[in-house]
Amino acid sequence: MHIHKLLIILPVVLATVLFLLPEHTDAQNPQRGDTRLVIIADMNESYGSVHYDMYVDSALVWIERWQPDAILTAGDHIAGQSLALVEENIRAMWEGFEETIASPIREMEIPFGVTMGNHDASRSGTFDHERDIAKEYWTTHPHHLRFIDGENYPFYYSFSVNNLFIMSWDASFSVISEREREWVAEQLSSETARDASMRILIGHLPLYAVAEGRNRRGEILEDADKLFEMLRDGGLDIYISGHHHAYYPAEKEGVLLLSAGAIGSGPRQLLGSDHPPRRTITVLDFFDEPHRTVISTFDIENGMREIKPEELPDSIEGINGVIERKGLGGE
């Protein structure tokens, strides 16, 4: 075949191949909704580390390409929660976080909603000094948030992203305080929350266990069923958590329980899964017409390959209950 004929045919062949590819499987360009959030979690390394893995840098590159309306983290920005660490160590970790992660995000001018992890500011009562430094850091480094109630930032607060109503509570410990339970209930009952298209809560510990090595008390929230009932009855649509270092999108009685995978060290295997642990980053696209939420989650270590629902267990049975993968109810 002559070269000039080949040059004529090749574009036609490529166009045909692209047309036949399944829709929205390009990890570099998931279909964008009317509002887009990127979810990251558990970015820290070993106790006291001021450095971050190369996959954290990779996540930032993808975030800049995706240009979300906001970034949400599910906690553990630094590697604290050790009595061996002195104030100098803790401040150095926040400086490392600022240089590697927060400053690049601020330069993108993307709102940055966070929740406190156990390694950031544990509410166990033993690490109040770490909580003081965490509060100092977050209240002196603004992150483009449009607060609804920011009085108790960064521990519990609410803000808006387009027509989304988003809250963060202090799930850095297994017990949610009565004051915060009441606050969340009040927030959900507010006119602003009721008028929003979606109501979202972020917290570090999950309600229900999903990962190997985390299926025990202290690694999940106490009174999970009661907390869930309060959130469901209040009209919550999504609860985003970290801590288990494993991605799993569950759905319980109409509420999406999204366990975010780690982008830092120590990814974990899902309970009941043969798949190895994976570092993941999640994109949530919200479409107004028709009203729907699309989850796109990618394996950062393996070429940003999209994780398919069929790769995940249909359900996970943990120490405090069974949750089913989103979509199994015929949706």
pLDDT tens digits along 255-280: 999 999 999 999 999 999 999 999 99
The mean pLDDT value for 201-214 works out to 98
- pLDDT by residue (tens digit) across 217-255? 999 999 999 999 999 999 999 999 999 999 999 999 999
- The number of beta carbons lying within 10 Å of the beta carbon of residue 310 is 7
Could you give the CA distance from residue 245 to residue 264 in angstroms, rounded to a whole number? Answer: 9
Could you give the CA distance from residue 78 to residue 59 in angstroms, rounded to a whole number? Answer: 16
| Amino acid code (one letter) for 165 | F
Break the chain down into helix, strand, coil percent, rounded to 5.
30, 25, 45
- pLDDT by residue (tens digit) across 4-43? 433 343 333 333 333 333 343 455 789 999 999 999 999 9
- pLDDT by residue (tens digit) across 152-205? 999 999 999 999 999 999 999 999 999 999 999 999 999 999 999 999 999 999
Grouping H, G, I as helix, E, B as strand and the rest as coil, residue 67 is coil
The sign of the dihedral angle between the CA atoms of 79, 82, 84, 89 is positive
Grouping H, G, I as helix, E, B as strand and the rest as coil, residue 257 is strand
pTM recorded for the entire structure: 0.90
Domain covering 33-325: architecture: 4-Layer Sandwich (3.60)
Pairing of strands 70-73, 112-113: parallel
- pLDDT by residue (tens digit) across 287-325? 999 999 999 999 999 999 999 999 999 999 999 999 999
Q: Give pLDDT, residue 142.
A: 78
Give the domain ranges of the chain.
Answer: 33-325
Q: Whose structure tokens read 């926040």?
A: 94
